[in-house]
Amino acid sequence: MSASISAPDDDTCVPPEIVSTVFYSATVSDSLAILVAETIDGQPRLTWGNEGAVHLLGYGLGDLRSMPVAQLFPTLGRAELRLLLRRERTARMTLPVRAASGAVVESVVITTPSPGGRMWTVRLLSTANEQERALRATADAHERRFSALTERSPIPTLLSEQGMRLAHVNDAFCSLVGLRAEQLLGTGWIDTIHTDDLDGVIEQVAAALDGDEVETKARLVRDDGTVRMTVIRFAHLFTPGVGAGFVGTIEDITDRLAFEAKLEHQANHDPLTGLPNRTLLAQYVAGRFQPGTVGLACLFLDLDNFKVVNDSLGHTAGDELLVEVAERLRATVRPGDLVARFGGDEFVVVCENVDEDAAVALAGRVSEALARPMRLGGVDIRPYASVGVTVQTGEHAAAEELIRDCDIAMYQAKSGGKGRITVLDQQARAEARDKLRLVAELRDAIERREITMMYQPIFSSVDGHPVAVESLARWQHAERGAISPATFVPLAEESGLIYGLGLLVLDETCRQLAEWDHLLGAAAPPRANVNVSALQLDDNLAGHVASALERHELAPERISVEITESALMKDPESARAILQQLRDLGIELAIDDFGTGYSSLAYLRHLPVDCLKVDRSFVAEMAEGHAEIASAVIALAHTLNLCTVAEGVETLEQAEELTSLGATYLQGFSLAEPMTGGHAAAWFATHTEDLP
C-alpha cells in the first residue's frame, strides 16, 4: 500500500507519522480484517491483506495475493460483484465469505473505492459475536415470517430487493399468471405484462424505487394466452447494502369489472329481447341530437293485437313473439341503426343521415319483415305493427321531443287503421303539444281545487218533489273558457289524473252536503249521486268513500255511486266484488247509461245495484214516437225490483210519458238545470217552502 502526503499548505494534510501509525495499526490488527482488491487484466483480484484477514479467513498472505475476489464471495454473480465493487461510492452487503477451510463466515462486507476507481479497500466484519448473532437471528426470523406470510397470502405478491429484478414471488402470483416461480424471478415477470400497458407499469416501478407508493391498472397475459385485468400497487423497499427495491401486490379485478359491466348492461337493456331499453334509447338519441340540424329519424312501432296473442296463447307465446320481432328488426335495419324496446309491445328504431323518404322506406321494409308468418302455440300468426315516423326538423329543440313526436305519429297510425305507417304532420304535432299543455293545466286545476261542482236536481215521478242531486264536474279555464267534461274526463283517464279528479269530486260533494245540512236542515237534498270512472273501480274505492263520509260526518245513505254499464263489463267479476264492498257500507248503487252497453241480463240480476238510469238517447227517441227501448228498460228494472232514473228529460210531454211508463225518477233541463252549491241551496229552500 502507498500513501500520498499533502503539501504543507493544504488544510487537509495529514502528517506522515500519523499515516504511518494508522497503516501499521491496520496491518498488525487481528480484530479488524482488511483486504485490498485491484482490477488486474480486467478481473478484480486481492492484492493485500492484514493480520486480521489472515486470522479471520485462515489464508496465508501469499494465498490471498492474486486470489480472484469472486472466489472469496461464492454467492455473488458477476452483476452482484459489480454492485459490491462500485467505482463511485462505498457499498455494504452482508455476505457469506469462504474461508481457507471451505467453511463460510457470515460477514458484513464494506468496500471503499480509491479515487482512481481501480482499487478497493475491503473490510470484513464478522457477525460471529453473540450480539450480532442475535441480531442476525432476529433478522432471519423476520425474513422467514415475511416469507411465510407472503407465500401463504391469497394476494399475489412480488418482491424486488433492487431495481426491476424480482427476488421473490408467491404462489398466488404464480397461479394468477400460470407460470412457475423460477420463470418469473429476475426480470421474467415483465413478460407477463400486456405490451400496451408495459410503459405505464415501468413508470410506476421507477416512481416506487424513488420512494413513492403508487398503483396502476395493467393487463396480465397468462401462460394460456388469456388476459386478466389487474390493479398493481407498488411500495418502496430499501435493503441496506443492496439498494432500492419494491413490494408489489396485485388485485385481479377481471371478475369485478365483468360483473359491473353485466349490471350496467342489465340496467340499460331489456332482459327478454336483449335490446337497449328506454333509458339507453334516451341517452343514444340525446348523444346524437343537435338542435337546428336534420338527418336523425325515429320509427315508433306498436304491435297490433298483441293482447290477443297473450290472452289466447299465453304469456309465454307473447314473449316468444316479442323475441322474434326483436330479431327481425335487428336483421332488417341498416348497420349502425339502433333498435330499442320502449316497453310492452312497443319498439323504437333510430337511424342517422336519412331524410323522410328514406325513413318511410325503412318503415316499409320493417313492416314487411314483421308481417311474415310465424308459428306460436301451433298457430300461424302474422305480427303486424302500426308505425309512426318522425324526422328531425328545426322545430325540434330537444331529443325527447323527437321520441315523443314519433310516439304521437304511431298513435295516429293506429287510430287510422292497424298495420299503417304514418309520418307526423304539423297539425298533429301542434294538437299533441296542446294536449300536453292541457294535461298539465288539468293537473294544476285538480291540485288547486279549481274543478268546481254543479248540482242537477232529480225528481220523484209520483209527486214531483226533488229527492236527490247529481254532482257534475265543471272546469272553467282562465284562458280557454269552459271545458266540457266530455273533454277533460277522458283526458284525466288517459293521463292518470282520474284518481285525483274522482277524489276531488267525492270530497267536494260530501262537503257540499254537510254545508247544505247546516244551512237548510231538513230541507237539504237527501242524497247526492257521484259518477265513478271505470279506472276507479279498485279495492281502494270503498275506503275512499268511507273516509269522505267520515270526514264530513255524513251517513252512507246520503251518497249514491253511479257507474256506467260499459265500465262494469270490462271486468264483471272484479266489478261485482267492488260493488259489494260499497253496498256493505250502505252506499246506494246505480248503473248509468243503461242500455248502451252489452251486459248480460242474467249477469245484471246478480249485481248488487239499486237503480238503472235510462240513457238520454233513449229518452230523446220518444219525441219521434220510439219509446220501445225506454219502456223495456223501465219494465226490466221493475222485474228486478230496481228503481229507474230517466235522464235528459227535455219536455213536459216526455216527463208525462215516462211517468206513465213507470219511471221512478226524472232528471233533465226541462225540470231543473245544473246549478252551483249556493244556488242549489236557495233553490231547495224555495221549493221546500212550496211543498204542501
Find the mean pLDDT for residues 175-197.
91
Q: Is the pLDDT of residue 9 over 50?
A: no
Q: How far is CA 64 from CA 61, 407, 641, in A?
A: 5, 98, 133
539, 609: one domain:
yes
CATH number at residue 156: 3.30.450.20
Question: Residue 327 — very low, low, confident or very high, per pLDDT cuts 50/70/90?
Answer: very high
Query: Does 328 lie in the same domain as 216?
Result: no
The predicted-structure confidence for 510-539, as pLDDT tens digits, reads as follows 999 999 999 999 999 999 999 998 888 889
Name which of 503, 398, 408, 401 is nearest 446 in CA terms: 503
Domain holding 471: CATH number?
3.20.20.450
Can you tell me the mean pLDDT for 395-416? 85
Please state, in angstroms and rounded to a whole number, the distance separating the CA atoms of residues 56 and 125.
9
Please report the pLDDT score of residue 394 as a whole number: 81
Confidence class of residue 3 from pLDDT cuts 50, 70 and 90?
very low
Over 90: is that where the pLDDT of 243 sits? no
What is the average per-residue pLDDT within 8-13? 50
Decide if pLDDT at 150 tops 70. Answer: no
Nearest CA-CA partner of 441 in 400, 497, 524: 497
What is the band of 297 on the pLDDT scale with cuts at 50, 70, 90? very high
Co-location of 176 and 104 in the same domain: no
Are the C-beta atoms of residues 401 and 298 closer than 8 Å to each other?
Answer: no
151 pLDDT tier (thresholds 50, 70, 90): low
- Give me 415's grid cell: 287510430
Domain membership of residue 138 (yes or no) is no
Q: How confident is the prediction for the chain on average, in pLDDT?
A: 86
Task: Examine the pLDDT at 185 and tell me if it is beyond 80.
Answer: yes
Q: What is the mean pLDDT of residues 386-414?
A: 87
Q: What's the total number of domains in the chain?
A: 4
- pLDDT mean over 383-404: 88
Q: Within this chain, do residues 504 and 646 fall inside the same structural domain, yes or no?
A: yes
Give the end of a domain, one of 234, 256, 278.
256
Q: Which residue matches cell numbers 325503412? A: 362
User: Residue 135: is its pLDDT beyond 60?
Assistant: no
**Higher local confidence (pLDDT), 667 or 376:** 667
pLDDT digits (tens, 9 = 90+) for 275-296: 999 999 999 999 999 888 888 9
CB 349 within 8 A of CB 339: yes
Q: How far apart are CA 402 and CA 251, in angstroms?
A: 46
- Indicate whether 470 and 615 sit together in one domain: yes
Tens digits of per-residue pLDDT, 545-571? 999 999 999 999 999 999 987 777 777
Strands 588-594 and 168-169: unpaired
3-class secondary-structure state, position 626:
coil
Point out the least confidently predicted range of 86-100, 180-194, 367-381, 609-623: 86-100
More confident residue, 21 or 236: 236
Name, of 52-56, 106-110, 682-686, the range with top average pLDDT: 682-686
Identify whether residues 570 and 657 lie together within a single domain.
yes
pLDDT computed for residue 144 by the predictor = 59
Q: Is residue 268 very low, low, confident or very high in pLDDT (cuts 50, 70, 90)?
A: confident
pLDDT higher than threshold 60 for residue 132: no
**pLDDT for position 177:** 94
Whether 6 has a pLDDT exceeding 50, the answer reads no
Q: Which domain holds residue 564?
A: 439-680
pLDDT tens, position by position, 18-71: 666 667 666 666 668 899 999 888 889 999 888 888 888 888 888 888 899 999
The total number of residues shown for the chain amounts to: 692
6 within some domain: no
Mean pLDDT value across residues 652-668: 93
The C-alpha angle with vertex 204 and arms to 209 and 261, in degrees rounded to 5, equals: 150
Percent of the chain with pLDDT over 90: 49
The answer to whether residues 511 and 593 belong to one domain is: yes
Of 110-119, 122-131, 245-254, the least confident: 122-131
- Give residue 598's pLDDT: 53
Is position 1 within any domain? no
The amino acid present at 594, given as its one-letter code, is: F
66-80, 173-187, 583-597 — which one is most confidently predicted on average? 173-187
Long-range CB pairs of 459-462, under 8 A, 24+ apart, other chains included: 459/665, 459/666, 459/667, 459/671, 459/672, 460/664, 460/665, 461/655, 461/658, 461/659, 461/663, 461/664, 461/665, 461/666, 462/659
- For residue 366, being part of any structural domain is answered with yes
Residue 248 and residue 273 in one domain: no
Pair (361, 456) in one structural domain: no
Same domain, 224 and 315: no
- Asked whether residue 82 falls in the same domain as residue 154, the answer is no
Indicate whether 138 pLDDT > 60: no
Last residue of a domain, one of 98, 128, 158: 128
- For the segment 317-338, the average pLDDT, to the nearest whole number, is 93
Residue with the bigger pLDDT between 547 and 383: it is 547
| pLDDT score, position 58 | 85
CATH number of the CATH domain containing 296: 3.30.70.270
Q: Rounded distance, CA 247 to CA 169, Å?
A: 10
Domain-located, residue 8 = no
418-427, 478-487, 669-678 — which is least confidently predicted? 418-427
Instruction: Encode pLDDT of 452-486 as tens digits.
Output: 999 999 999 998 999 999 999 999 999 999 999 99
Asked, for residue 686, whether it belongs to a domain, the answer is no
Q: What pLDDT score was predicted for residue 683?
A: 95
pTM of the complete model: 0.53
Is residue 96 within 8 Å of residue 106, measured between CB atoms?
yes
Question: How many other CB atoms are found less than 10 A from the CB of residue 548?
Answer: 20
Last residue of a domain, one of 205, 231, 256: 256
Same domain? 343 vs 449: no
Q: Given pLDDT bands bounded at 50, 70 and 90, which one contains residue 4? A: very low
CB 604 within 8 A of CB 581: no
Is 334 within a domain?
Answer: yes
The answer to the question of residue 142 being in a domain is no
Please tell me the predicted confidence (pLDDT) of residue 523: 93
Q: What is residue 604's predicted lDDT score, i.e. its pLDDT? A: 75
Nearest to 568 by CA among 583, 548, 590, 540: 590
Does position 146 have pLDDT exceeding 80, yes or no?
Answer: no
